C-alpha cells in the first residue's frame, strides 16, 4: 500500500542526523561504557517534590480526560510567567514544546507555504515544517557572526514566506540574540507581514547577555507565537509539558486540533507543571546554576586547546566546538571519537550547513566526568590537527 506523499516528505534528504546517537546506543547495549554527550536530556531525575505532586494529583483523582487546552490554573500560571499583556486566553498547553511548534506551524501554513528557519537550527525544525505541510527555507547564522542571523540574508529568505521560526537562547549554538538582532527580526517580520515563532524553551539558561522575547517588541504580539516548556527549566523532559503563547484567535482556532490529536495533556502532568511553576523557583534556580557551572567548567577545560575552537555559549546546555582545523567533518570526527574513545557527541552537520565542521557537546554529565571527557576530546582534536 502506498503511503501519503505528506508522510514520505518528512524525513531529511540530507540523511539521518541521529546516526551517531543510535550507534552509541548499540555500543552501550553491547556493554561498552559510552560517555553520552549527545541529546539535551538531563543526567538526573526530576526533583522529588514535582514527582510527589504528580502522584498526589493522580491519587486525588486527576486521572480522567483533562481540560483542553489546559487547566485554568496552569494556563493562568503560564500567562503570569509570560509577562505583561498575556492572559490565560493566550495559552495553549501541549504535550511538550515540540508539539507546540507543530501546532503553531499548522495554524500558520497552507500546503506548500514557506517557513524560514535559521541555520544552524534545532534538528527537528525542518521535519516539523514539512510535517505541517510547509517548505523550509534556510537563512544563515554563520560562526563568523557569532551565530547571530545575517539580517540581509534573512530579508531575502522572507520574500514570499509565511512564517519565521527562531530560537534564542539557541540550540545548538548557544547564541543569545542581541537586542539589535531581535529588533531587526521584528522589523523584518512586520515589513514582510510574516508570523514569528519564537522558541524560548531555554529562557532560564542565559549565561551572557539578556533574553529578550520578540513578542514584547512593538506590533509583535499579534504576529508572534512563543514556545515554552518545563523540560529544560525543571528537569521534566519526559513529562511532555509545553505550551504556546499566541494571539487569542489562534488559541481558539487550534482547539479542534487538540481535540483531533492528543485530546489534551494528562491532568496529573499538568498539576506537576503547575507545582513547578508556582513553587519550583528554587528548583529552577538550582537547575540553572548547575548548567552555568558546567558551562564555565567546559569553557575553562577547553581554553587554549589545539585543534578546536570554542565560542563560549551565551546560553543553553551545550557547547559548540569548531573542529575544522582537524581537517575532518563533524560527522567523521564524531564517528572516530565514538569508536576510538567511546565518547558520543552530535556532529554539527545534523543542525544544518552552517554548523558543518563543528560538534555539539551537551553538558549532561557530572562535573568531573564532563571535564575529563572534554580533555580527551581536546587531546584527540590536537593530535588530528598536528596530523
| Contacting positions for ligand PMP (CB under 6 A) | 40, 96-98, 122, 167, 171, 199, 201, 229, 231, 237, 242
Smallest gap from Cβ 41 to ligand PMP, in A, equals 8
Beta carbon nearer to ligand PMP, 195 or 351: 351
Beta carbon nearer to ligand PMP, 40 or 348: 40
Smallest gap from Cβ 238 to ligand PMP, in A, equals 9
Beta carbon nearer to ligand PMP, 96 or 352: 96
Q: Which is it for the CA torsion 165, 171, 172, 174, positive or negative?
A: positive
Beta carbon nearer to ligand PMP, 35 or 229: 229
Q: Which residues of 187-226 are buried (b: 16+ CB within 10 A; e: fewer)?
A: bbbeebebbbbbbbbbbbbbbeeebbbbbbbeebbebbbb
Smallest gap from Cβ 199 to ligand PMP, in A, equals 5
Beta carbon nearer to ligand PMP, 225 or 305: 225
What are φ and ψ of residue 33, in 5° steps? -85, 90
Smallest gap from Cβ 195 to ligand PMP, in A, equals 17
Helices 367-386 and 330-341, packing angle to 10 deg: 120
Q: Which residues of 105-139 are buried (b: 16+ CB within 10 A; e: fewer)?
A: bbbbbeeebbbbbbbbbbbebbbbbbbbebbbbbb
CA 311 vs CA 174, 182, 255, 295, 302: distances in Å:
9, 21, 42, 11, 10
Beta carbon nearer to ligand PMP, 230 or 301: 230
Smallest gap from Cβ 39 to ligand PMP, in A, equals 7
Smallest gap from Cβ 103 to ligand PMP, in A, equals 12
Amino acid at each position: 500500500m502506498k503511503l501519503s506523499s505528506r508522510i514520505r516528505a518528512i524525513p531529511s534528504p540530507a540523511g539521518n542526523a541521529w546516526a551517531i546517537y543510535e550507534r552509541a546506543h548499540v555500543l552501550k547495549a553491547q556493554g561498552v561504557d559510552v560517555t553520552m554527550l549527545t541529546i539535551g536530556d538531563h543526567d538526573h531525575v526530576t526533583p522529588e517534590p514535582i514527582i510527589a505532586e504528580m502522584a498526589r494529583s493522580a491519587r486525588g483523582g486527576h486521572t480522567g480526560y483533562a481540560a483542553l487546552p489546559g487547566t485554568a490554573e496552569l494556563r493562568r500560571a503560564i500567562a503570569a510567567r509570560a509577562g505583561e499583556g498575556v492572559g490565560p486566553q493566550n495559552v495553549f498547553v501541549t504535550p511538550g514544546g515540540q508539539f507546540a511548534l507543530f501546532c503553531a506551524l499548522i495554524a500558520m501554513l497552507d500546503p506548500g507555504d514557506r517557513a524560514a528557519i535559521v541555520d544552524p537550527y534545532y534538528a527537528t525544525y525542518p521535519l516539523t515544517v514539512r510535517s505541517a505541510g510547509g517548505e523550509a527555507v534556510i537563512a544563515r547564522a554563520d560562526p563568523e557572526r557569532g551565530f547571530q542571523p545575517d539580517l540581509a540574508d534573512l530579508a531575502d529568505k522572507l520574500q514570499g514566506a509565511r512564517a519565521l521560526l527562531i530560537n534564542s537562547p539557541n540550540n545548538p549554538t548557544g547564541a543569545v540574540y542581541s537586542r539589535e538582532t531581535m529588533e531587526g527580526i521584528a522589523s523584518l517580520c512586520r515589513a514582510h507581514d510574516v508570523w514569528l515563532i519564537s522558541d524560548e524553551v531555554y529562557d532560564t539558561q542565559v549565561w551572557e547577555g539578556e533574553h529578550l522575547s520578540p513578542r514584547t517588541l512593538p506590533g509583535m504580539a499579534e504576529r508572534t507565537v512563543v514556545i515554552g516548556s518545563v523540560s529544560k527549566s525543571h528537569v521534566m523532559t519526559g513529562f511532555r509539558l509545553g505550551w504556546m503563547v499566541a494571539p487569542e484567535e489562534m488559541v481558539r482556532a487550534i482547539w479542534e486540533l487538540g481535540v483531533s490529536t492528543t485530546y489534551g495533556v494528562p491532568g496529573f502532568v499538568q498539576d506537576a507543571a503547575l507545582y513547578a511553576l508556582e513553587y519550583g523557583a528554587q528548583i529552577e534556580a538550582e537547575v540553572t546554576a548547575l548548567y552555568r557551572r558546567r558551562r564555565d567548567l567546559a569553557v575553562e577545560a577547553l581554553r587554549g586547546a589545539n585543534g578546536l575552537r570554542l565560542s563560549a555559549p551565551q546560553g543553553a546546555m551545550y557547547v559548540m566546538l569548531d573542529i575544522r582545523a582537524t581537517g575532518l567533518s563533524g560527522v567523521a570526527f564524531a564517528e572516530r571519537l565514538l569508536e576510538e574513545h567511546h565518547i558520543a557527541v552530535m556532529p554539527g552537520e545534523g543542525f544544518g550547513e552552517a554548523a558543518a565542521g563543528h560538534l555539539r557537546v551537551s553538558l549532561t554529565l557530572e562535573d568531573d566526568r564532563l571535564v575529563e571527557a572534554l580533555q580527551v576530546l581536546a587531546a584527540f582534536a590536537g593530535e588530528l590537527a598536528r596530523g
